[in-house]
Amino acid sequence: MRRRVLRGSCVAARWVEWMHIKTGPARVLGRTHMTQNNPRDAYRDELTHVDESGDVRMVDVGDKAVTRRIAVAEGSILMHPETQAMVLEDRAKKGDVLACARVAGIMASKRTSDLIPMCHPLNITKSKVEIESIPAMGEGARKDGRVGFHVLATCGVTGVTGIEMEALTAASTACLTIYDMCKAVDRGMEIVDVRLLLKEGGRSGVWEREGASAAAVEGKDGAGATASDSSEDAPAAPAPAVAFIGYQNSGKTTLVEKVIAELTARGLRVGSIKHHGHHRFDIDVPGKDSWRHAEAGSRHVGLICANRYAEYADTDQEFPLDDLLARYTDVDVVIVEGYKTAGLPNVVVARSGVDRLRGSSSLDLVDDATLAIACNDTLANHIHINLPVADINDAATVANVVEGYLAR
């Protein structure tokens, strides 16, 4: 009998059709939760590791944005109470079971691409494996009363593809190592509930397993630390910054606004800083409570609500840009408007009309840190510099320049 083989997109279509029948149409929101009624969270109806002819492939990620990515996975190994006691009391003949399992999980996360055929090799910046005992009763106990150990693996990377498989591999390998070191006394151990709890970063944003947020949030803290320092959470590194510099009325703000929107649409988390060249500015709303605080003499005002905060302060001298950038640890890139002389990687924004009024060329702003020039056609025809030149209204091309810098 000949077997009928579904090829390429047909495979995905049939699979999607079946899932639609079983669960109803899937929806994608900013934060996706996995529930019993919604087991599928795909934001596309294609299997990315299957090409049009039905052959497996490694996905080309060369054009994807560089973002900070985090994944948290868990797994448990259940065993006889006497086996658990042997491990906790360090009586296993092969040595320290839990220490060995932690190291094995970390090592496995760094070798995931050698084990899973279509995974990309990643320069992992964080690999942390935590193991806790599962008691028979009380906090952390299972409903069935079985005991063993729970593994929580957290992996982080700044790159162009996700790190979920690395976290899952770390959790699985840690459980397998415990089994290997204890199998002589308990071959009936079971490895269960190996699953992803959380992933962040990339075009799809945040995915979080419902009911697992507490463990996942605890696990992801400090995911920017290096693998060699996996035992301690290091402070997250500030995001790289790109400045848009130009003279007054050159169109910086309009271009910055469009580029922020374009990068955000591509899945990047964007922060921004505007350099104000004058001595004072007001950002508060006259008459509001925080404004009244400042008018009464408060030098440092903060305003906080459930999902946003703001603060502003009076200073005796200009606040250092580097100190401000150091606080941008929750985004993938900071777009800075202004700071012509700060030495940041920059895009020079210029218009021929502005140059005529000034009587000199805006190209005098070009320096060794300039990534590209964004200008109008009239000026572009007179540029003879070996740098990319983009139309001042072409935010997509300028966003490509920013992403190219992030990928370096």
Residue 57: CB partners within 8 Å, gap ≥ 6? 49, 50, 51, 118
Integer Cα distance of 271 and 335 in angstroms: 6
In degrees, rounded to 5, the angle at the alpha carbon of residue 243 between the alpha carbons of residues 237 and 248 is 150
3-class DSSP assignment, residue 79: strand
**Catalytic position from the list 41, 51, 180, 229:** 180
Backbone angles phi, psi at 184, to 5 degrees: -60, -30
Asked about 180 being catalytic, the answer comes back as yes
Q: Where are the alpha helices (DSSP H) in 203-351?
A: 213-220, 252-265, 289-296, 321-325
Digits of tens for pLDDT over the chain (408 positions)? Answer: 333 333 333 433 333 333 343 334 333 334 444 444 444 454 445 556 656 676 766 677 666 677 888 999 999 999 999 999 999 998 988 889 999 999 999 999 999 988 888 888 888 888 999 999 999 888 888 888 899 999 999 999 888 888 899 999 999 999 999 999 999 999 999 999 999 999 888 777 788 887 664 555 555 554 443 333 443 445 567 889 999 999 888 889 999 999 999 999 988 899 999 988 666 677 777 888 888 898 888 888 888 888 887 888 888 888 888 888 988 988 899 999 989 888 999 999 988 877 777 777 788 899 999 999 999 887 877 787 888 999 999 999 999 999 988 877
Domains parsed from the chain with CATH numbers = 1-41 (no CATH), 64-229 (3.30.70.640), 241-285+319-406 (3.40.50.300)
